[in-house]
Structure 1
């Protein structure tokens, strides 16, 4: 077996896993950004029902996320990825038959199951193929594909929604789900048995079979970041419609992508050389400033400027949090650590989507984005109070 340190970073398996992750997250972000518009305009649903379209999906994800890491570690990351990507594809095809809110909510809920296990397995599988000495850089590049999806998905979805029937949106989303399956099929699984055998055997009982305790502190900080981020992910399209320039939502996501993607190679190397503090502190402050600026937007230019600032901040924070979460655990618990991080991240996105759906309806979007900025500040506070002291104990 090839030593993990002798691997080139861009080996075939790592690239296949990155592409699989890209397409499933593109599907997720495409539908997350466009379904609220479809549900409001085509199904004539209420603000609560719009929130449920996002939140029930996340609820389905959250319910299986704790098991997904255990299953990936026990039965194989690739096997679990392929099995639940099949479920994911079936649910995407089922969207074509949902023309009322109740069937749509049921399919969304089940679709979350497939998303939970496949994304956990894919993230853990990527760790198999990253050279140990380039872990921060590798995770950064893996996250780059997720960041690309985070922008291409909503931008493409909003473009298709504005110019075509929603059936076209669902067709493109289903195609992305199938591509994710194909790239996952052509990836392999590798375990460093030498390292695993050298580790002391550990027994995990109760909830700790499914949750990696060492990853919880930073995962909670990630939860708060995701809660704040959901205010943009789910509602930027409706916010820009309210401001009178719906086309700005597409420009927002494109700008967000560029400012996450362009600095990513530097950010990955900086994470390996300088540590997470060099990214998290400036990243949080940029993210907060961008949200406050977005809350005061009255022109397309301000919306785009806020996207660039938020993109710089998010692009620094997310890979640092994710790397800390996975690095806190042993290699044989990589799947469980990944599941723990994304479990709390999913709860943040789902809870934020639901709460911000209600606050935007009652208080308006401007107030919603100020609240999101305050929650981002809480993410930094929890990092200072919980994560930094915990990391010192692990050393």
Structure 2
């Protein structure tokens, strides 16, 4: 008989995760408009100011993993969650730009901690035999929030004030915090306190997998940031926001089967399948504007089909990679494993933000996505030749 997955604690952590990310994505697309209209900030400065959030989140990741493995996890999770929603309220009263920047940095630190903590706690409250499935549905909450949060934020921006949007994000975060408070976490077994070393901040055995993940996230970062501009360049007339909707649908579809395959021990096979799919998608994306120059309908069909299969590819790999990192770590280093997984992913996204803009400026978006496709091919070969054998040799469960 299968271990029970759907429990009260699991449903509450799913709700807390969805409401957290909904608050995050609700304000994400309106912040550039907020900075322009309220603080009269230039476009170059907007990118620097908003990137403070990502830099702060990356800086706190390794330390959050260490703290979660050394101290009680739920209090740290709740503290970070509380700071996250407090900053949402702070945006309402940020009267000068310097205060907004400070709040943005604090927000990034809180987000970096709360996401690592949430990913670690969901593993604590679910049976190990269904971990891949549990992580898959947990990640689906992020994707669902990504598919509806930005559209809701942009709709509200046309009708309501910025303070109203921040207030709604605060309300969503508050409801999520209430759900998080109600999660019952199992007592942690006492473990011998290890001396501080590099392995307490970064899962050293996870570095090869982290390299694969970083190479994958570089073109992903290009896509999330520049796909609207690329769509305009190749003559896509439909809203480019649909690209993210199709990606989210693809991720939702992938969760139906990927988590179960991971729980059957097919982690490396699932990741390999996702890598092949993502490689093909980025190669097609780089050529999307030139394959059907006289058939705009065919170009649009291909463009959004690519989005759907990109979502399936990445959605297939996310729970598998998360489980891979956790399986390489002892139970008292789950936080470090999760932190290394998320740090690798977001570091690559940061590179994609910078490299994608530079390549598009000196060459073209087609060339930028072709470079991204080449990175995914390198990532696939590296995973098959190095990471998969390393994982099977060093996995602990």
Tell me which interval the TM-score lies in, with the shorter structure as reference length. Answer: 0.7 to 0.9
- How many angstroms apart in 1 are the aligned matches of 2:320 and 2:152? 28
Of 86, 92, 95, the residue aligned with 1:96 is 92
Once the two structures are overlaid, the 10-residue window that deviates more, 175-184 or 354-363, is 354-363
Of 202, 225, 229, the residue aligned with 1:234 is 225
Of 259, 265, 280, the residue aligned with 1:268 is 259
2:367 is aligned to 367
- How many angstroms apart in 1 are the aligned matches of 2:86 and 2:340? 26
SS of aligned partner of 1:386: helix
Does the CA-based 8 Å contact 1:23-1:177 persist in structure 2? Answer: yes
SS of aligned partner of 2:202: coil
1:131 is aligned to 127
2:82 is aligned to 86
Gaps of 5+ in 1: none
SS of aligned partner of 1:301: helix
Does the CA-based 8 Å contact 1:47-1:358 persist in structure 2? Answer: no
2:213 matches 1:217: no
Distance 1:190 1:108, change over 3 A: same
What does residue range 1-395 of structure 1 map to in structure 2 within 5 Å? 8-36=4-32, 39=35, 45-46=41-42, 48-98=44-94, 102-161=98-157, 165-191=161-187, 193=189, 203-240=194-231, 248-273=239-264, 275-295=266-286, 296-297=288-289, 300-394=300-394
Shift, 1:114, TM fit: 0.4
Distance 1:220 1:153, change over 3 A: farther
Once the two structures are overlaid, the 10-residue window that deviates more, 250-259 or 371-380, is 371-380
TM-score, normalization: structure 2? 0.86
Shift, 1:311, TM fit: 0.8
Once the two structures are overlaid, the 10-residue window that deviates more, 105-114 or 58-67, is 105-114
SS of aligned partner of 2:112: helix
TM-score, normalization: structure 1? 0.86
Shift, 1:303, TM fit: 3.1
Shift, 1:37, TM fit: 5.8
- How many angstroms apart in 2 are the aligned matches of 1:292 and 1:100? 45
Shift, 1:235, TM fit: 3.2
Distance 1:69 1:376, change over 3 A: same
Shift, 1:207, TM fit: 2.1
How many matched pairs?
386
Distance 1:47 1:383, change over 3 A: farther
Distance 1:10 1:116, change over 3 A: same
- How many angstroms apart in 1 are the aligned matches of 2:210 and 2:67? 20
Does the CA-based 8 Å contact 1:137-1:268 persist in structure 2? Answer: yes
SS of aligned partner of 2:329: coil
SS of aligned partner of 1:23: helix
Distance 1:249 1:107, change over 3 A: farther
Task: Spell out, residue by residue over 1:91-141, the C-alpha distance to the aligned partner (whole angstroms, 9 max, x if none).
Answer: 222323457765443322221110011111111110111111112222222
Does the CA-based 8 Å contact 2:272-2:384 persist in structure 1? Answer: no
Gaps of 5+ in 2: 290-295
SS of aligned partner of 2:143: helix
Does the CA-based 8 Å contact 1:36-1:234 persist in structure 2? Answer: no
Cα root mean square deviation, aligned: 2.9
Task: Spell out, residue by residue over 1:238-264, the C-alpha distance to the aligned partner (whole angstroms, 9 max, x if none).
Answer: 544666668623322221111111231
2:292 is aligned to none
